[in-house]
Structure 1
Amino acid sequence: MQPSSDRVLSSYITSLVSRIPLVFTVYSIMVSSVSVMEGDSVTLKTNVLTNQQYKINWYYKGYHIAQINRYQSKICTDVQCKERFGDRLSLGSQSGSLIITNTRNTDSGEYTLEIISIDGSISEKSFDVSVIDSGLPVVPVLVLSPVLVPVICAAAAGGLLVAGGIVCYKKFKQTRNRRRRDDHHQENDVIEALPLNQRAETA
């Protein structure tokens, strides 16, 4: 009994598929936040080596701005990129890290790193860059140890008690002095009301 034509065709297709190498593309995305003072330089690191990758691409808000492989690099190949960054972009020759010099407020935004490995896998990493205006004052942030918080609170409470005690003592002295002045005035009024011969005896 000969196999049917459908079985023969199915076996043939299976044989062809088994001979075709399958390439799986793996995507992994990471996000990092980076802050830089206006006018300073910032480096967005790839943490890889260019000679171990097929290609490294950089994008700014979806626009391609730089590329590097084992043989050459390209930066700002279109007019829009040149108008925005000029000659302020460069790439690390060994790592492909993106370097932005003399940063401006207009450089803030999302930068996307795309790494295409030799085996065909693709990984992406996004950098949320914030350029801080150099004219704004820098407010220092005090980070307290949890051990010091009760001590500081107790000291503050003690300070408030001492301050409150001082205020109360001053109020007491003012009231006491006022009463003394009133008593002194009352004594003078009594003496003046006495006859002259009794004033001398009282004095």
Structure 2
Amino acid sequence: MKILHLLRLGAFVAADKRLERKEIDLRKLEKEYEEEDDMELEDLDMWDERKPKQGMDTRKLDGRDHITTWSEAKKGQQLGMYVNTVPGLSEVELKNLFDLWQMNMINCCNFELTFLPLEEERMLVLLPDGKHLKDFGTMLRQDKNCLTFVVENTHMLCGGHPEWDPKRPGKNVEAMEKWDQYHKDKKIEDTKKKVEGWKESIPVEKKDEL
């Protein structure tokens, strides 16, 4: 009987050692755990293949403001954007400014920003999800220390820009430049027409003298 007990004990120890040597697939275990835990799909990381794609909610779009479109189009994607501050801010002031923005976004929308200073008046800000662009952009527009923020190569105006108009939040540098160029070209064209009309009104003999 004692011999039988020793044989059983030896078999148990051998099996225990085999378990120790067995490699454990942590990813597989984590996936099984998540499935057993009935994890919400919305809570999955954005790079998880199981996370459903988010479509655009056209009810939230405003044709007068690009950030409403970008915010919907970039949902579920990390979004990088440049932010240009007003001139003259010190390194400490820039850090404090970003800390303020960070706190505002945590309080209002429960997400954190990633901040990377590039130049004296320029920084790169990463949003964990493009859907937060509208909230972040709205905050920047109210800040007098923000000059512009850049999305899709478009410089949107902030509260610190001299041309900022809260009644026209969709104003951007590129559109203003095109508008200014349009008026410049139109002025030149109108001047040419006036000169041509003035020449046509001059009598023939006067034209010969000219």
TM-score where L is the length of structure 1: 0.29
- Higher strand proportion: 1
Larger radius of gyration, structure 1 or 2? 1
Q: Which has the higher contact order (CA 8 A, sep 6+)?
A: 1
The TM-score normalised by the length of structure 2 is 0.28
